[in-house]
Structure 1
Amino acid sequence: MRVEFGVLGPVAAWDRTGEPRSLKGPRHRAVLARLLVARRRVVPVARLVEDLWGAEPPADAVGTVRTFVAGLRRSLEPERAPRTASRLLVTEGPGYALRADPDGVDAWRFERLVGSLAHVPPARAVAVLDDALALWRGPAYADCAGESWARAERSRLTELRLTAVERRAEAQIARGTATEAVPDLDAHVADHPWREDAWQLLALALYRSGRQADALSVLRRARRLLREHLGVDPGPRLARMEEDVLRHAAHLAPGPGGTAAQVWTEATAAYESVVPSRARTRLESTAGLMRDLAVTGGGGLEAARRHRVAAVAAAEQLGDPELTARVIGVYDVPAIWTRCDDPAQADRLVGAAERTLRLLPAGPHDAARARLLATVAVESRGTLPTDGPASGARALQAARQAEHLARRLGDASLLAFALNGLFMQTFETAGLAGRRDAIGTEILSLASRTSLVTYEVLGHLIRLQARCARSDLAGADRHATAADALAERHELPLVSVFTTWYRALRTALTAPLPAAASAYRDAAMTLDGAGMPGLESGLLPLALLCLHVRHDEPFDPGPRCDWGPYEPWARPLLLASEGREDEAVHLLGSVPAPPRDLLYEALWGLLAHTALRVGDHATMRRAHTALAPAAGELAGAGSGVLTLGPVSAYLDALTTALRHS
């Protein structure tokens, strides 16, 4: 005998013909409702007593509960023979359980329908949601509204219903019937003015119905109500919606069926419905999405960094090192610049990766270990020791370990990531452009064979830098052209930042000073909003200073010039240029060795030039030792953005000055 139960409204029961079962009084209904809330699990008699009467139950409460259960059994299974066990409302252990059919409770059926929309087209989604919403006869557990044990379930079902209403409207808009969605959405926001997603959907439905003015009016009404009722301003999505409506943003237009925007909307809506809000899968998906967002540059790159750190922190809080390893390791975004955009965030990521490496259980986790080690290497860019041997540096050690594991595993994408980490740590000494060129060559070969487009771009950019260091501008041109072509084909806007700066460097090597300075100022404009403060900060004045040094011309940066992280190595030369040579000598005595990164040779070149100018022999000796391995390179050109000219010229001048000291 099949019995169906209803809780989306007053508690009810029906037989297979649809005839209602008599549930007698309110206490009987309360017992039935409490068992339905338990979702087929046993509810002890003591708990039923407490839920029905609170802290002061009557003396015969247990017997009364048994009477209620017996009455429910007679109502739900009237054909059951006397003294035979119930198969529906069963006695088990210390209490009772209602073994309702999995599809025999309207709330459970509603949840199943709403959760079945992962790969459903909009038209079908509307029909499914119509069926789901039709199951509601009133507020969930309507006759148990005051009961504390029903409160959480009532709230959960109510929230799911509101979400279903919004998803139905979203599907109507996606299938091209936005006008049909307007009336229900209008009523929905009137009843629930705090739901910002509903306001956004209503505005979109109005806009796609040709009612731009009404869409703007709705958004302004939402802002007013949120402030008046909750004392808050609209969130960024609602604010952005108003801006998009005002400027007729292209993505708001319905377009032909199956537009990219519609596909995205449907896919994200399906994901929201299918993947539970606290699922570990969401953390991995977030990290993967941030990886794709990072290559868009600008706000996308900044948001990717921010949300990536949050996802890693959330994964660590769950106490699952394997999950944390996946969340950290999936973000294998290629990196070409050797100075961090956000050192504090990088430190947190390195710390999380190191902790996870220690916690990762022994066993088949070598791929995860390699990704964590590569992350340590990439995020520790520019942190090799400034003085003394660098072979013991943790980041360099991590890079080598990651490369070893990746080669043994034979995983192309993992090896590309590991080689990127190795590239970031290939600055133990000056003059290693040849080694970096070999890394770039391998990355390029690997990526082109396995369709790793972003790493193919990385390979071209690494080789561009190495070619510049060795004065091979024709070779650098080929790699710049190839990188630009890939970037245009695959929508990678950040690539043009590096190729534009390369072309400014090329101009600096071949054109008069005014033309070169203009090219650098034009290149600096590509950094506005690019989301790369580690590249942007101080780079233009440093490039112009190097340019003027090469042309033996004075450089006036102006009083408000921001040298960013390069001030310690530029300041002595600026003092000397102002005739303050004693101050320059004093400052040279305390200036640290430059960080071991792409500008290592350039900054040593500035120190060498300044030391020669003021006769500081101690700094001359330090500079000669540091620059000697790069005798065949252009100082700083390995960065692909600036140069001080041939290292050999500085070495010759230093040798001569020291010989005559």
Structure 2
Amino acid sequence: MGVVFGVLGPVTAWGDAGDPIALKGPRHRAVLARLVVARGRVVPVTRLVDDLWAEAPPGAVGAVRTFVAALRRALEPGRAARTPARLLVTEGPGYALRAEPDAVDAWRFERAVAGAADLPPAEGLAVLEEALGWWRGPAYAEFAGEDWARAERSRLAELRLHAVERHAGARLALGRAAEAVPDLDAHAAEHPWREDAWHLLALALYRTGRQGDALAVLRRARALLVEQLGVDPGPRLRRLEADILGHAPHLDHVEAAGDAEGGAGAARVWARAAAVYDRTVASGARARLESTVGLLRNLAVTGGGGLEAAREHRVAAIAAAEELGDVELTARVIGAYDVPAIWTRADDPAQAARVVAAAERALAALPPGGHEAARTRLLATVAVESRGTRDARGPRAAREAERLARRLDDPALLAFALNGLFMQTFHRAGLAPERDAIGAELVALSARHGLVTYEVLGHLIRVQARAALADFATADRHASAADRLARRNELPLAGVFTQWYRALRLTVDDTVTAAQEEAACRAAAARLDGAGMPGLERGLLPLALLSVRLRRDRAGHGAAPAEDAGWGPYEPWARPLVLLARGRPRDAAAALRAVPDPPRDLLFEAMWCLTARAAIAVGDRETAERARAELAPAAGELAGAGSGLLSLGPVAGYLDDLTAALRS
């Protein structure tokens, strides 16, 4: 990270190796602290003089400059003479500290406390515990009497108290009330005006079976508030006292929500319910098949082995339903697996084809009249599972499922149908706006009706679509929204896509080097290992690395990685460029002639751009003409960015190059 600054205690700084940096005298530290308070804004030299001295001595401006020069030598000892400072910079009439967001402990603390609010109790507790450990004393400790530090010290002190109370609240949510009592007792005694502290302490005591102590705490709080502030306790404390006296059920810790063992309560509830189910529902009952599919649907969104097992057992459940000869049961078993799908390449194409075939058999066998909901789910299944193919049945099924779902006015059914429609919007280039509209409807529909997994899907679709349209500000907001929902609802697969998006996001930052881009791609690829999505994993990292190099070497010469890079399904489109990079233009031309049309999926434009680059290089006019015609509808998009994973740069640039090559 480089230099790290500490203001949550005495003002200090640490170097790369974690060793303290000598900051010389108190006025040197005061200058540094004043610039940290400014949070990257320029502080004029005259303001620094006023802040450092009650009455400025002659030569005060020169002294400030001397302090700054000494700080620069300490903070950047390896900086060559007469080269601009990177951290403590001169700008306009003064100086500014250009520290990274994580380089100042106070800034880091702020973000940690804010982020913990969106986390489950166990994760939030860990984040807050670490963040509170960064405090080494009062903020800006040696500058307590300085006017310029007063407001910032007060703000940070209040934030710390809030974090202490949030930390205690997380312990209570996890059933660890006894652990929370000692810290809360000390906290309330030290800050007797904080009603939240008294509330948490009384609740913790009550949950440990100490009802009398809890009531005594509330009486002590009332006495202190009246004596010291002249006010009565607020309604929240008064209500808690009444609830304790009445043994209100909501005061008890809900065991199923988790406890000190990290969810043992939930495990007990599950075990008991499963045992009752086993005793009550006969082993051969058809209801077990439908229950199984419900479990598989939940298992699929956990990722990894859960997703792989869900796919495998889903096919077995469908086969078992068909063996029973009950078409309506079969339709329900097939249609109940409405797991949101964001990636257009099937993880197991053969298995997807078997599901489509079973869905079509059920559609044909359903008796006419009625069964519209089942029919809609089967059609949506066909649309989702036939993604990335050239089969005309997929688009037809998607349109019909959407029509039926809208007529039935069933939000969950419509969300499933919209997922199928999204999967079938890749029949040509340039359809990012259409997909964006589907994503927007999914977000709105799902938020209204509590369809969390489809709300996450809608945000991810919008990340992809807005990235394709180079609207990264909007894409950023949807990526953050997807992450928040995924954390709250334990949906780890969403993070795979948002991490890849953030690697893609680096492509529009001119200050980022190729090495940094490639490192981000490798980190995102590591997240795929064991995620249970081979259709996404195979060949993606080499393709992403190629996209970095092609954007930076527009002619494409020498841009491709080695021939054995493990291209997976992208090998036909990468091979001509690999051969060109190895100095084999004749072989590249032959390979280009054998390249098939790209699959109709999220990387459709990207594959055509690879083909276009190779066609220009070998002078294949026929392929160049086809590439230009296919890419023309996407002239306003970034090639490949619609995947949310990588970008080959503006499609318009490829079109310009193709036009120039065809004119020559």
Change (3 A) 1:582 1:505: same
Q: Distance in 2 between matches of 1:344 and 1:428?
A: 21
The equivalent position to 1:597 in structure 2, one of 596, 601, 611, is 601
Aligned to 2:529: 528
The equivalent position to 2:342 in structure 1, one of 331, 336, 340, is 336
Answer whether contact 1:293 1:300 (CA < 8 A) is retained.
Answer: yes
Q: What letter is aligned with 1:415? A: L
**CA drift at 1:508:** 2.7
Answer whether contact 2:343 2:602 (CA < 8 A) is retained.
Answer: yes
Of all paired residues, the percent bearing the same amino acid is 66
Answer whether contact 2:563 2:575 (CA < 8 A) is retained.
Answer: no
Aligned to 1:637: 641
The equivalent position to 1:295 in structure 2, one of 286, 294, 301, is 301
Q: What letter is aligned with 1:508? A: T
Aligned to 1:471: 470
Residue 488 in structure 1 maps to residue 478 in structure 2? no
Change (3 A) 1:398 1:507: same
Answer whether contact 2:563 2:578 (CA < 8 A) is retained.
Answer: no
Aligned to 1:620: 624
Q: Distance in 2 between matches of 1:290 and 1:562?
A: 32
Aligned to 1:658: 662
Aligned to 1:268: 274
Q: Distance in 2 between matches of 1:266 and 1:433?
A: 48
Tell me how many residue pairs correspond in the alignment.
403
Answer whether contact 2:290 2:332 (CA < 8 A) is retained.
Answer: yes
Residue 402 in structure 1 maps to residue 401 in structure 2? yes
TM-score after normalising by structure 1? 0.60
Answer whether contact 1:501 1:520 (CA < 8 A) is retained.
Answer: yes
Q: Distance in 1 between matches of 2:584 and 2:335?
A: 51
Aligned to 1:544: 545
Change (3 A) 1:404 1:656: same
Q: How is 1:139-538 mapped onto 2 (pairs within 5 angstroms)?
A: 259-384=265-390, 393-510=392-509, 511-538=512-539
**CA drift at 1:332:** 0.4
Answer whether contact 1:440 1:459 (CA < 8 A) is retained.
Answer: yes
Residue 609 in structure 1 maps to residue 608 in structure 2? no
Aligned to 2:10: none
Q: How is 1:63-78 mapped onto 2 (pairs within 5 angstroms)?
A: none
Answer whether contact 2:500 2:644 (CA < 8 A) is retained.
Answer: yes
**CA drift at 1:581:** 0.7
**CA drift at 1:509:** 2.8
Q: Distance in 1 between matches of 2:470 and 2:526?
A: 26
Change (3 A) 1:317 1:460: same
Answer whether contact 2:470 2:637 (CA < 8 A) is retained.
Answer: yes
Q: What letter is aligned with 2:363? A: L
**CA drift at 1:587:** 1.5
Residue 572 in structure 1 maps to residue 576 in structure 2? yes
Q: Distance in 1 between matches of 2:359 and 2:321?
A: 12
TM-score after normalising by structure 2? 0.59
Q: What letter is aligned with 2:529? A: D
Q: What letter is aligned with 2:658? A: L
**CA drift at 1:555:** 3.9
Change (3 A) 1:272 1:571: same
Answer whether contact 2:560 2:581 (CA < 8 A) is retained.
Answer: no
Change (3 A) 1:575 1:559: closer
Change (3 A) 1:254 1:469: closer
The Cα offsets for residues 101-126 of structure 1, whole Å up to 9 and x where unpaired, read as xxxxxxxxxxxxxxxxxxxxxxxxxx
Q: Distance in 2 between matches of 1:653 and 1:269?
A: 67
Change (3 A) 1:299 1:328: same
**CA drift at 1:363:** 2.2
Change (3 A) 1:612 1:559: closer
SS class of match (2:532): coil
Q: What letter is aligned with 2:285? A: A
**CA drift at 1:557:** 2.9
Aligned to 1:22: none
Q: Distance in 1 between matches of 2:347 and 2:540?
A: 13
SS class of match (1:381): coil
Q: What letter is aligned with 1:490? A: N
Aligned to 1:557: 561
**CA drift at 1:344:** 1.1
The Cα offsets for residues 504-562 of structure 1, whole Å up to 9 and x where unpaired, read as 00113322211100000000011011000000000000010111000007345345421
Change (3 A) 1:467 1:500: same
**CA drift at 1:496:** 0.4
Change (3 A) 1:619 1:268: same
Q: Distance in 2 between matches of 1:457 and 1:627?
A: 30
Gaps of 5+ in 2: 1-256
Answer whether contact 1:508 1:517 (CA < 8 A) is retained.
Answer: no
The Cα offsets for residues 180-211 of structure 1, whole Å up to 9 and x where unpaired, read as xxxxxxxxxxxxxxxxxxxxxxxxxxxxxxxx
Q: How is 1:71-150 mapped onto 2 (pairs within 5 angstroms)?
A: none
SS class of match (1:306): helix
SS class of match (1:592): coil
Q: What letter is aligned with 1:494? A: L
Change (3 A) 1:518 1:589: same
SS class of match (1:461): helix
Q: What letter is aligned with 1:530? A: A
Q: What letter is aligned with 1:357? A: L
Answer whether contact 1:290 1:304 (CA < 8 A) is retained.
Answer: yes
Q: Distance in 1 between matches of 2:273 and 2:423?
A: 37
The Cα offsets for residues 136-155 of structure 1, whole Å up to 9 and x where unpaired, read as xxxxxxxxxxxxxxxxxxxx
The Cα offsets for residues 366-394 of structure 1, whole Å up to 9 and x where unpaired, read as 10000000000000110136xxxxxxx11
**CA drift at 1:424:** 0.2
Answer whether contact 1:627 1:647 (CA < 8 A) is retained.
Answer: yes
SS class of match (2:284): coil
SS class of match (1:317): helix
The Cα offsets for residues 11-39 of structure 1, whole Å up to 9 and x where unpaired, read as xxxxxxxxxxxxxxxxxxxxxxxxxxxxx
Q: RMSD of the TM alignment (CA)? A: 1.8
Aligned to 2:128: none
Q: Distance in 1 between matches of 2:530 and 2:563?
A: 24
Q: Distance in 2 between matches of 1:518 and 1:303?
A: 31
Q: Distance in 2 between matches of 1:612 and 1:577?
A: 14
Answer whether contact 1:384 1:425 (CA < 8 A) is retained.
Answer: no
Change (3 A) 1:622 1:320: same
SS class of match (1:526): helix
**CA drift at 1:255:** 5.5
Q: Which is higher, the Rg of structure 1 or of structure 2?
A: 1
Aligned to 2:651: 647
